[in-house]
Amino acid sequence: MKSGLEGKIALVTGASSGIGEGIAIALASAGAIVAVSARRIDRLEALVKRIEAAGGKALALPGDMTVEAEAIKAVEDTVARLGRIDILINSAGIMQAGGIENCDLEEYRRVVDINLFATLYCCKAAVAHMLAQGGGDIVNISSLAGRKGGPMTSAYSASKHAVNSMTDGMRQELGDRTIRVSVLMPGATTTEVAENISNPQWRTAIRAHVSKEGAVLPAEIGETVVFMLSLPRRVNISEISVRPTIDTTA
């Protein structure tokens, strides 16, 4: 069965590694033309070369999605250079330890800026184009942490709870205007998410969590997104959780 994504124009943020990279490759493999955005231009250029070597089409649009003007520019450049924007995948995100006692407020703000506000900026910019062109798809990458809390995850969990709530509100607002909006909540996925965590104990714990036996691979998250987008237009998967098969607690 064809995916129905052939020739579709997609923008994937946070595409320089991990889940964003896996989704970009999967979309390109399904026939979409993919604009990829993140701060690390060298990583983006390498990704574009990888996609093109496999017969796909991609465009690097470096930028920091926490800067509203740069997030808007990523969307506008996608439309200007590729003609439209059919799919927006918001995958830019970070994790930090986030307990309340002696918490670093700047780190807390950074987590919320990237995980929530970067998503908001891109959605706001893309929706205007999708409404004008008659439809589109938005998939926001959240986390199973957006369904629970923990003693060291309050910053990350709070940001992902907010993404979940915002996404469901967008779905209700835009669904009857042919824009499907979904949230995808991965559990333990093998990525570099731990590498920027400043707390050494938490960094070690998360490294172990995302590299454990049975952890989901970014390519598998990519396949999941392709599945979501390939369903008939009348079907909107409003949310989907992806858990490792071996450790169901994620």
Phi/psi class of residue 7: alpha, beta or left (left: φ > 0; alpha: ψ in -120 to 50)?
left
Q: Which is catalytic among the residues 108, 117, 121, 156?
A: 156
Q: Are 188 and 19 spatial neighbours (Cβ–Cβ below 8 Å)?
A: no
Is residue 149 scored above 90 in pLDDT? no
The pTM of the full predicted model, rounded to 2 decimals, is 0.94
3-class SS at 115?
Answer: helix
The two three-digit tokens of residue 244, written as one number:
């490792």
Tens-place pLDDT, residues 11-43: 999 999 999 999 999 999 999 999 999 999 999
Q: Is-catalytic flag, 156?
A: yes
Is residue 192 scored above 90 in pLDDT? no
The two three-digit tokens of residue 61, written as one number:
């649009």
pLDDT of residue 92: 94
pLDDT of residue 54: 97
pLDDT of residue 164: 98
The two three-digit tokens of residue 167, written as one number:
């996404």
pLDDT of residue 2: 67
pLDDT of residue 73: 98
Reported CATH class of domain 9-241? alpha beta
Ranges of each domain in the chain: 9-241
Q: Going by C-beta distance under 8 Å and a sequence separation of 6 or more, which residues neighbour residue 117?
A: 66, 68
Q: Going by C-beta distance under 8 Å and a sequence separation of 6 or more, which residues neighbour residue 101?
A: none
The two three-digit tokens of residue 69, written as one number:
């003007």
